[in-house]
Structure 1
Amino acid sequence: MGSISAVYSTLGELIQRYRYERSMTQAKLAELTRINRGSISKIENGDIKRPDYATIQPIISVLNVPLREVIDALSLTDHRSDTWFGLLHNSTSSGDYSLSAEIASYLLASRNEESEVLLGKLFQIVQEISNDNELKLSLLNIVITYARSHGIQRFVARGTLHKYLIERDDFSKMEATYQTGQYVLYYVEFLSRDERVTLYYKLGVHAFNLRKYNDCIELSKKAVIEDDIESSFKAYSTLAICTSYYELEQFDMAEKYLKTFSLFSFPFVQEYVDFMSAKLQEKKGSIELAIEQLKYCLETSSFKMNIVNSLFNLFLINHDLTAIENLLQREQEYIAGDQINPAMEAEKAHFYLNKGKYLQITNRQEEAVDCYICSASIFVRICEQKYLYECLELVFQIAGNINDKTISSRVQELFDNLKKYEEEKY
């Protein structure tokens, strides 16, 4: 049956109309819902104007009353917050984000609880939602707007922090979401210690992925100071400081923080220490020692792509094509699994870039183009413009030297895909 078209003004009238449409007596409705028949009668007659959610829910469920119509009816009276909380929980699985947002707004307008208590409960609901970031962002925007208008800074801070933590996972908008994270810093004093540690660490890693190494060092040092336990966040923040100094070519400072990082007792520490030690040996000019240490890392580390790329670069410098061929024989081992963050994505892109260079050197031009295109497609996803342009230059170089229709069509396909990606991003 379709939705009732008649105009109604109360919840009781709405329930009665749907009961009539389904040719159901109050006694039958009471049997199906296990709600006292007298209570149903009083709700329909308007004697009970504000029934609690535990009473409403089974009735509207049995009668299959659309949630939208229930909300329209309830909005005419000043209902308690527990009713709106129940309806909000009910709505989160509907996929109607505007409906959930409207219920959240009515919830915050409830008068039976303090505003900060209501915000806390709404925030808890947001945290309990899984696998629906669009809904979470919609509700967080309501939390932030309400908290700001009522001067409740703690929830402005918490809302903007959690909004940032969701949005930062969109690798295609890393610069924009980094600015969102920077905005949260204005409210950092209103966050708990754990929330401050999370912000400083996550924003520090974000800065590193954007090659803002000085920002990364500053933020990661704050994370280390705030974190008063030997947590994995503290360990990874120390590693981020070390690697940032390395990228800034301040190798003495990198070595200092690597020693500090080595004191942590987590299982992942040793493989990073081994890898960074090899990288520092390379910078000291001990190339052969660096290669031997990297080969050892390749056999012992869980994530191998960064090690492979470091070896690839050294082998290309030495023009050791046999060593590169040996690396490529294990390619599936390196690229297996999904890449879960921009750093891992970047390493995969660099692998294909390096492989393309090797294939170009060995005169396998079409295969090289395939690798450059694969690399470029990843770099554009994570906003790595510098290396994207390098890939494009190499593709043009091959296309200009060889009059090959297959390569030309692949170049055109690449540009079509990049254009499509940019259009979808905005």
Structure 2
Amino acid sequence: MESTLIQKTIGELILDTRRASNMSITQLSELSGVNRGAISRLENNDVKRPEFAAIYALSVALQISFDEIVHYYVDTEKRSDVLLHILSVSIQQNSDIDLIRKVATKYLEAPNEDSFDLTEKLYQYIGSIEDPSIRLSLYTLIIDHSRSHGIMPYIAKGLYQKYLIERNDFSKLKETYYSGKYILHYIEFLSQQDRIELYYKLGIHAFNLRIYMESIDHCKRVLGEEDGLSPYKIYALGILRDANFCIEDYKEAEMYSIQYKQFNYLNYPHTKEHVVLMDAQFAAKKGDAEKAIEILLSFLETCSDTHIVSAYRQLLQLYLQQNNHTGIKDTLDKCKEIVPIANSNNPFICSMYGDLLKIKGECYLTLGDYAQCIELMVESASWYSKVNDTKKEKECLNVIMRINLEHRVSPQTTFEKLSKYFIQSAKEMEG
């Protein structure tokens, strides 16, 4: 009964719109490509299950909105293949997200296929959608549907894909890290490859948040899962080395550094530059600052753009510790050759660039160039703000305030720079 009513409504919608447009059935047939008999039967409610292709063609000819037609149609359509097609067209038509979810929900409820199979097909289809906001909404739908139907593998897979999308929002790095950790409750339902990738991504995520012990734990799990050799295993060793170095467990850091060095530079060329930078850090920690400086100066002659920022940051830090003004000035001058980073979708690169700007600011403070120091600290704070690193952001702002309290600088200029900074920061928070 409900089916007849809704189909009658579609027929009436076509009929009323055609008449309001002063269009004959023949004219509508010519415009839409749908034959006159089919239009007549539809308008008279003689078609039990009108084909969506015909309805869509008529709606285009009559200038009826796509979303309106779909709202009518999906309430009675039960065939999964047709609903999946409508979902695809809805996305192509940039339909409202609520309509897209409605169609996807009807698809998951289709009675002609098993619920698990429908969920699997929708999950695979979502991977082909370009718009991340639509993917996120549909993965959330899959998670909710899978929970209500006890489909454990797709709770896990949906949560994982949701995490991969949400972790790109740098303003919520901490929140998305904990949502990523929640997936560990369902880890046994992920494939081995997905488990390895999840552990690694959580490892680098925790490292970026400076939660080093958890980073170490996640990356050790990568090594436990990975039987052979993969990029993730190499990356995990690099993080284990760096995270242990950050917590000052230099013995463990050196152990992982040795393992990291064993990989063939020809197959993994990026490892060579990582090793050189870490060797310089080990030398400095062992008290041989001159050796570390020598390593870095030699490295800067040939290194790639990827690692030049880290190398200059380390070098400036060493010169600053030595109070070597000549070395500082020379390095600051060379730093001008670095192409400024306009933007980055990698939080590690954002933090690394912020670190370079901060150490440069500290160097100018040592040299007594307060204006340049303030300029760099504001810029550094901006980069830390992008990745929600409030601790380092506040450190930069504190340096600026301390300069104004302790030295003769123009407060007007400082306040103008800070005002621009806070306005820009507020805009970025609004998205």
TM-score scaled to structure 2, two decimals? 0.89
For the pair 1:374 / 2:373, whether they are aligned, the reply is no
For the pair 1:103 / 2:108, whether they are aligned, the reply is no
Q: 1:275 to 1:65 in 2, by over 3 A?
A: same
Give the superposition deviation at 1:177: 0.7
Paired position in structure 2 for 1:216: 215
Q: 1:261 to 1:250 in 2, by over 3 A?
A: same
State whether residues 316 and 363 of structure 2, in contact with CA within 8 Å, keep that contact through their aligned partners in structure 1. Answer: no
Distance (Å, rounded) in 1 between the aligned partners of 2:78 and 2:23: 27
Paired position in structure 2 for 1:81: 80
Give the superposition deviation at 1:250: 1.4
Distance (Å, rounded) in 2 between the aligned partners of 1:35 and 1:27: 10
State whether residues 7 and 48 of structure 2, in contact with CA within 8 Å, keep that contact through their aligned partners in structure 1. Answer: no
Paired position in structure 1 for 2:416: 410
Paired position in structure 2 for 1:158: 157
Give the superposition deviation at 1:423: 6.5
Q: 1:112 to 1:8 in 2, by over 3 A?
A: closer
State whether residues 171 and 429 of structure 2, in contact with CA within 8 Å, keep that contact through their aligned partners in structure 1. Answer: no
Distance (Å, rounded) in 1 between the aligned partners of 2:15 and 2:268: 63
The CA RMSD over aligned residues, in Å, is 2.5
Paired position in structure 2 for 1:124: 124
Instruction: Output one character per residue of 1:137-174: Cα deviation in whole Å (capped at 9) or x when no partner.
Output: 22122111111011111111111111111111111111
Give the superposition deviation at 1:331: 2.4
- What one-letter code is carried by the residue in structure 2 that aligns with 1:345? C
Which stretch shows the higher mean deviation, 322-331 or 231-240? Answer: 322-331
Distance (Å, rounded) in 2 between the aligned partners of 1:420 and 1:349: 18
Give the superposition deviation at 1:372: 0.9
Give the superposition deviation at 1:290: 1.1
Give the superposition deviation at 1:358: 1.8
Distance (Å, rounded) in 1 between the aligned partners of 2:28 and 2:192: 52
Give the superposition deviation at 1:25: 4.0
Distance (Å, rounded) in 2 between the aligned partners of 1:22 and 1:86: 29
Which stretch shows the higher mean deviation, 94-103 or 306-315? Answer: 94-103
Give the unaligned 5+ runs of structure 2: 1-5
The aligned runs of 1:286-365 (5 Å cut-off) are 286-298=288-300, 299-303=302-306, 304-329=308-333, 330-336=335-341, 338-365=343-370
Paired position in structure 1 for 2:3: none
The aligned runs of 1:246-285 (5 Å cut-off) are 246-264=245-263, 265-285=267-287
Distance (Å, rounded) in 1 between the aligned partners of 2:339 and 2:248: 27
Give the unaligned 5+ runs of structure 1: 1-6
State whether residues 305 and 351 of structure 1, in contact with CA within 8 Å, keep that contact through their aligned partners in structure 2. Answer: yes
TM-score scaled to structure 1, two decimals? 0.90
Distance (Å, rounded) in 1 between the aligned partners of 2:424 and 2:54: 55
State whether residues 310 and 352 of structure 2, in contact with CA within 8 Å, keep that contact through their aligned partners in structure 1. Answer: yes
- What one-letter code is carried by the residue in structure 1 that aligns with 2:84? F
Paired position in structure 2 for 1:4: none
State whether residues 349 and 378 of structure 1, in contact with CA within 8 Å, keep that contact through their aligned partners in structure 2. Answer: yes
Q: 1:194 to 1:19 in 2, by over 3 A?
A: farther
Instruction: Output one character per residue of 1:83-123: Cα deviation in whole Å (capped at 9) or x when no partner.
Output: 22222212224152122122222222221222122212222
Give the superposition deviation at 1:64: 3.1
Q: 1:216 to 1:76 in 2, by over 3 A?
A: closer
Paired position in structure 1 for 2:204: 205
Q: 1:52 to 1:242 in 2, by over 3 A?
A: farther
State whether residues 137 and 163 of structure 1, in contact with CA within 8 Å, keep that contact through their aligned partners in structure 2. Answer: yes
Instruction: Output one character per residue of 1:374-409: Cα deviation in whole Å (capped at 9) or x when no partner.
Output: 111222222223322221221111111225143342
State whether residues 346 and 379 of structure 1, in contact with CA within 8 Å, keep that contact through their aligned partners in structure 2. Answer: yes
Distance (Å, rounded) in 2 between the aligned partners of 1:238 and 1:393: 35
- What one-letter code is carried by the residue in structure 2 that aligns with 1:302? D
State whether residues 50 and 79 of structure 1, in contact with CA within 8 Å, keep that contact through their aligned partners in structure 2. Answer: no
For residue 345 of structure 2, give the secondary structure of its aligned residue in structure 1: coil
* Count of aligned pairs: 418
Paired position in structure 1 for 2:60: 61
Distance (Å, rounded) in 2 between the aligned partners of 1:228 and 1:56: 55
Which stretch shows the higher mean deviation, 285-294 or 143-152? Answer: 285-294
Distance (Å, rounded) in 2 between the aligned partners of 1:229 and 1:17: 67
Q: 1:231 to 1:31 in 2, by over 3 A?
A: farther
Which stretch shows the higher mean deviation, 45-54 or 165-174? Answer: 45-54
Distance (Å, rounded) in 2 between the aligned partners of 1:54 and 1:124: 24
